[in-house]
Structure 1
Amino acid sequence: MNLRTVFTTMVVLIVALVGTVWLGRGNGDLESPQPARPVASPDDDRPKIAEKGPYPKAVVDESLYNFGEMAVGQSLSHKFILKNEGEVPLEVKKGNTTCKCTLSEMKDNSVAPGKSIEIELTWTPKSAQEHFGQTATIFTNDPKNQELKLQIEGTANTLITFSGGMMGTASWSLPTMSSDKPVSYQGSMHTKYLDEFKITAIESDRSGLKASFKPLTPEELKEADAKSGYSIEVTADPTKFPLGGFSEHLTVKTDIPNDLSAEAHDHPEGHDHKHEHPAENRTFVIQVSGNHTGPIRIVPTFGVHWNPQSMVLNLGEFSAQKGKEVVLSMFVEGTEQPLEIVDQEISPDFLKFELKKDDSFQSKTKQRYVLKFAVPPGPPVSFGRTNLAKVKLQTNHPNAKEIEFRVQFISLKP
């Protein structure tokens, strides 16, 4: 037997052996075919689609309605008309919604051929939005319109706008109070959504802060692009304010109900004042800030950080082991008598304060005093923006009876 014949015989034997092993595996190692999963059926609650016609025909002239501009807290509604132009009754069911959706009454959720129903969508924005959109889904048994998407959209603005304010919040700044004469600020509050509203009162916890108001003139309303509003004059009496910066609040009470119901506002320009719960009416807050310099002027020495608007002295960071001391100059006008401290309140009590008259200073209208603030060596401590140290003085000056210094610092471990 030659070499070629031997080689051929061996190849045949190997192939036969492999085939035998493979056949011996049996069907147990083969994956049995899995049964096909049934196609998910639609929700049982949805109207059933007939297997053959005739069919209903769901028609909505417009599926999108734009409210335009509306106010935060105001409820507006729009009624979509759904008509059945088919040959058999149209079955209707409400699906998911992102707003309030109401279907008009119908028998057995069915709309007869040639008849129609109203679908009312209502939305009450909770915050100002440049653009909002809400959707309601309506299921039907129309095979071509099994899901109808109805949409409402628009822009939500703050109901009341203040001059000098943003997003309905008023922040007014009074002129600097440098003498004992009252200072005033003229502002306004108005709306483009209400035909009218009333300010019932303006209140303040600060006795020296008063406010008066009167309706805006037609010319002023036109300039503000408003339908109704008021001019508000805020007046501050310097004799009843401590020296330094201040921030006070005015509470404006109105007859505007907290709940701007859809019935009272079928349109952004509609308003109804027939409400029976004045305690639930809206109030607004005006933040009034200013600076009372009075007859006192503080001049810091080089390297000392002093804010005259807030009367805050910032000592910065320093070693608790060494402590820190700074000196400022205080010039006083409006009295010929030396400035005396009638009473003082210092917090924390380890903070040291000293006031000394500079007898060498020559002026016919002013007096100069040296102010010294010191934090003695001690344990590390921090007095930041939220817990400033304070030096509150009661003086004999007729126009500076109360002076309050605030001190910020952080003493660190060495």
Structure 2
Amino acid sequence: MKTFIACLVIAAIGTGIGLKINHDRYGHYEPAFGPMTYDGEIDASNAMASISKNWSDKFPKVELPDGNVYDFGVMEPEEKGEHTFVVKNVGEDTLRLKVGASTCKCTVGELGTESLEPGEQTEVKMSWTVKTNESSFGQSAELRTNDPSQVAIRFEIQGQVVRQVQIVPEQVTFGETAAGEPVEFVVKVFNYLGQPMKATDVKFGDDTINELADFDVTVFKPTEDDGINEAAEQGFRIAATINPGLKQGPVNRNLMLTLMPEDADDDDLEKGRVVYIPVTGRIVGALSMLPNSRLKGISGGGYLYDFGIIGEDDSLTAKAFVVLKGAEQASTKLRIGEIEPAEYVEATLNEPVGQGKMTLYTLQLKLKPGDESVDRLGLSKGEFGYVMIESDNPKVPALKLLLKFALPAR
């Protein structure tokens, strides 16, 4: 019994010590602004008066007389620029300033002073280097303040980027043009070289195209219709025509304009400047076909019809559609030309049907088994067969339809 009572006493003493330690560590907290009272003199009726007594009602205030955005107009790539913004303190307390981060390393902000008394002003100088391949430029830098209403101010610079020679459009893309039709386009070249120039030569970097091309180059004074390029020294308008005769397929060539100072000799090449104008597009045949699950266009022009390996129950006939379009549509008739192998392949064209700007022909194909098997799968065993679709118009090139098949002997 005595032992039990002793255990209870010890437990009570331990509990008391634990509660004391817990209270000392966690049960008592001294507020950062002094002891808390619950029966003090501050209540809802006098709270604002107490705040006014303990807090100042005088604050700094930022004013930007010239704003925070500057448009520098037109600059060249890698050109350096500089502008000064003005910051004024129109408040009743000291204004403190600090330059923050900028959006690009090519933009730097410099602060005249970091402290302004009421009524004082300072300058924030922004310097930048135009580093972009785009036609516009825009960067910013931040200024931090202790003005409660404007803790951060963002100064912005923006403008247009032009090169010494500006091309509009920067790349000429004429899309798809039917063989037998001319390619026509207009491009403008604006001179920012700082002196009047003359055009001494204009040509493509391909002699085959030059034989078909005609150019008309005129000099003009840029106007507001030319947008930012109104600031150019002068402009050159190039009207180009590539007459029919290009082979079917992609066109990717540079048009080259040579500019020389007006007082220089035309053969003084060291003083000249060559402007390269990319020209891209594709010449497509006036003849084409409508693809299907077995008929596909092939690289370089033409089409391939895949019969596959003909079995006993497979069809020996097929139908496809030939399309004639372009300026020569109305005066052109189509016919079947050479067939290979003629003893195993038959092809006919039905009467054409007009569909607006195109004429549609139905092409009937038929395979004819012979005494020997035929392999025209295009592999090492043999080449493809083909059907030539020709026209009675020299301006409409023939179309070659390849045939892929393997035909057993009958």
Say which structure, 1 or 2, has more relative contact order (CA 8 Å, 6+ apart).
1
**Considering only CA atoms, is the larger Rg found in Structure 1 or Structure 2?**
2
Instruction: State TM-score, norm by structure 2.
Output: 0.46
